[in-house]
């Protein structure tokens, strides 16, 4: 069964889709809304997003189905290993997947992540520590990193 729902978050309206009791898409709403079909996994996802955005959850437990090329899946699965409140550079991510020369391809795959927030592509930054690139916009990336406490940790050193 295909599910569809929308979630009003502090970073904007989110569009959520499920299939076979797995989330297959979670992204920022870009088109007009359609009629919702809420499935149990979507209800669980909404509940966990509520907990995340109110600071009561650091990890998501609902099932996801990452659909993409083998390379994209390798990158997205590695994103899942970045802890809450931490960041890695695109270069470090390329090293983690075993190909330091794939930095641009890693960046492209990161930008095509179909399950935002849960697969934390917002935790990837530039080599120099700059907050570069985010499909949802840098303002959302900054909000998410502040929410997770990363930017406060960085600022507290000064």
Query: Is 72 among the residues known to form the active site?
Result: no
In 50-95, beta strands by DSSP E: 88-89
Q: Are 12 and 31 in contact (CB under 8 A)?
A: no
Most distant CA pair in the chain, distance: 52
**Cβ pair 4, 37 in contact under 8 A:** yes
Instruction: Identify the active-site residue in 118, 121, 144, 145.
Output: 121
Q: Which residue has 């930095």 as its token pair? A: 103
The vertex-116 CA angle with 84 and 32, nearest 5°, equals 150
Active centre residues (catalytic): 121
């Amino acid at each position: 069964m295909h599910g569809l729902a929308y979630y009003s978050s502090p970073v904007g309206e989110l569009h959520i889709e499920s299939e076979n009791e797995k989330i297959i898409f979670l992204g920022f709403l870009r088109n007009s809304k359609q009629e919702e079909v809420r499935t149990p996994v979507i209800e669980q996802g909404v509940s966990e997003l509520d907990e995340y955005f109110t600071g009561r959850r650091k990890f998501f437990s609902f099932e996801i189905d990452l659909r993409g090329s083998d390379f994209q899946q390798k990158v997205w699965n590695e994103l899942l290993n970045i802890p809450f409140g931490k960041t890695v550079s695109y270069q470090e991510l390329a090293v983690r997947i075993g190909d330091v020369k794939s930095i641009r391809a890693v960046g492209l795959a990161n930008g095509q992540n179909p399950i935002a927030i849960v697969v934390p592509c917002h935790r990837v930054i530039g080599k120099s520590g700059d907050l570069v690139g985010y499909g949802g916009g840098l303002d959302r990336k900054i909000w998410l990193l502040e929410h997770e406490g990363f930017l406060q940790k960085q600022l507290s050193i000064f």
